[in-house]
A and B are shown apart, each in its own frame.
Chain A
Amino acid sequence: MVFSIFQYQFMQNAILAGLCGGITCSIIGIFVVTMHLSFIGVCIAHAAFAGALLGIWLGFNPLIGALAFSLASAAIIGPIADRGELNLDTSIGIIFSLMLGLAFLFLGLMPGSRTEALNLFWGSILTVTRPDLTFLLVVTAVIIALIAVFYKEIQAVICHRQVALAVGIPATLIFYGLLLTTGLTITASLRSIGGLLIYSLILNPAAAAYQLTYSLKRMLFIASAFGVISCWAGLAASYFLDIPSGASIVITSSIIFGLATAFSPKRKVKRWQQTQVSA
């Protein structure tokens, strides 16, 4: 029976992890896509991955290493770019390559079996532990609370950062806060989605929601729904077809993006505008 899968503790954990990971990654995705900072997801994901590998290598909790590295990289990227010495893409690229180098270094120095390390690459939502799930739940609650409290500042900063600064909003603080929140989200989802695949779960549901509305509030809800559907559908595919969960989640989110793009009302408006211009 299909419903029998809900009896298992690991499946209940996975469903909850999919719910929280889907919501948080998609919300962060809306922020980074709107600010044209999509690459930041890749960068922080690799930082989290490198930190987790350091934890495995030195024998402390990989989550602590991931958290420290991802928050540190998020905290470095913003100020470097804001000082104007480098543009944001360049600073993200530098941190990204450093983190990738460190990840391979720690992987190379690691003695014995590297199964746990490689699991962080691909993620495994079906083996998510209770402490991981608790951390993910807390991060989800924190992110939702932050959005509820600072929605107006967040909207102003992601859409018009310079204007936000000019009207007296603490725009730099909010921007750095968003980068740190990105680090927190990626760390919390690392074990279930995986360091390599999490980028897709950040980008795809957000990009899909972007195709369907101009309202930020609606966009946040739609992206969250797409993120959760991606996680749950991917989870089901993983369970029934015996395929890697991270990969099936990402492929599902890509399919949703493809469908949203194909049926986007914005494309119709564009086609109509082109017809008007050529007429």
Chain B
Amino acid sequence: MDNTVISIKDAVVSYREDVALQDVSLEVRRGEFIGIIGPNGAGKTTLLTVINGLGKLVQGQARVLGMPVNGRNGNELRKRIGYVAQVENIDPRLPINVRETVMVGCYGRLGLFHQPTQAHWERVDRALDMVGIAHLSQRPIGHLSGGEYQRAAIARALVQQPEIFLLDEPTASIDERAQWEILKLIHLIHNKRHMTTLFVTHDLRQLPSICQRLILMKEGRIWQQGSPDLMLTEEILPQLYSAPTSIPGKSKTASSLRFSQ
């Protein structure tokens, strides 16, 4: 049985005159936890947008969850993919509370003309409980801290019941303690829900310890890939970042606070 959930072949993505992704090929198996690292502008986020159908391929092919990625089936695909971006600036006066924001995760699968039922609200409450912010459910979303907002975003992705979990720098711009808690949560969800997870970061300190494969991106290409032990070396990392780079685990960082499952 073919266990491949993501298959990208010779993908090229271009934003006007800039080529964001060049000849990228990637195969991801069901249940894998993949870390994607690289300097800013390496094409990490663009790679995620190709997977969820938001990035337009100029060349090449992509197949995700058995569906060809094209402009026509983007919404159908995204219903099955959870996406958590980095903390964004939220208007504190937005007329939507945390519980309603998490419920948005159900709306794609629910479809037009269908209203959420009691079962959907119960699913939302369970997700809020799981990410530890059930007590904030009635609070306006714009009143949350960065760490709390990311928990709400993860809860929203959870209620979507996704098969693939895309995390785009989910711990950027939040304090170290919140980073550690979010990483622990991602670890727990990946294992409990048997999901396929792709975790993007440009900060090696935020790389979860459960990462099975590491993809190193540079200048829009997959530069190298392999197990974290083979990739996180003093020879490879300075070349990737074009700067002296310390190896995580050797410094006291968020990921050095390894958690046990």
Contact residues of A with B, CB < 8 Å?
30, 34, 36, 84, 149-150, 152-153, 155-156, 159-160, 162-170, 210, 213-216, 219, 266
Q: Flag the segment in B27-35, B100-108, B175-183, B223-231 that touches A.
A: B100-108
**How distant is the Cα of A164 from the Cα of B104 in the complex, in angstroms?**
7
**A159 in complex: contacting residue of B16, B94, B110, CB < 8 Å:** B94
Cα(A152)–Cα(B103), bound, Å: 9
Contacts of A210 in B (CB 8 A): 93, 95
B-to-A contact residues, CB < 8 Å: 15-16, 52, 54, 75-81, 83, 85, 91, 93-97, 100-101, 103-105, 107-110, 112-113, 115-116, 140-141, 153, 156, 160
CB proximity of A272 to chain B, nearest CB, Å: 13
Give the residues in chain A near B140, CB-CB below 8 Å.
214
Count of chain A to chain B residue pairs whose CB atoms are closer than 8 Å in the complex: 84
Chain B residues touching A, majority SS: mixed
Contact of A153 among B79, B95, B112 (CB under 8 A): B112
With contact pairs A159-B94, A159-B95 given, residues A169 and B75 touching in the complex (Cβ less than 8 Å) = yes
Query: Are B101 and A167 closer than 8 Å at their CB atoms?
Result: no
B93 touches A214 (CB 8 A): yes
Known pairs A164-B107, A169-B107; A150 contacts B95 (CB<8 A): no
Taking a contact as CB atoms under 8 Å apart, the answer to whether B75 and A215 are in contact is no
> B112 touching A160 by the CB < 8 A rule?
no
Contact yes or no, A168 B104, CB < 8 A: no
Do residues A166 and B83 form an inter-chain contact, with CB atoms below 8 A? yes
Once the chains bind, are A156 and B85 in contact (CB under 8 Å)? no
Residues on A with beta carbons closer than 8 Å to the beta carbon of B97: 214-215
Q: Which residues of B contact A266 (CB under 8 A)?
A: 93
Which of A36, A160, A168, A216 makes the CB contact (< 8 A) with B79? A168
Q: Which A residues are CB-close (under 8 A) to B112?
A: 150, 153, 170
Contacts of A36 in B (CB 8 A): 91
Our pick among B76, B94, B141 for the contact of A168 (Cβ within 8 Å) is B76
Of the residues A165, A170, A216, contact of B96 by C-beta under 8 Å = A216
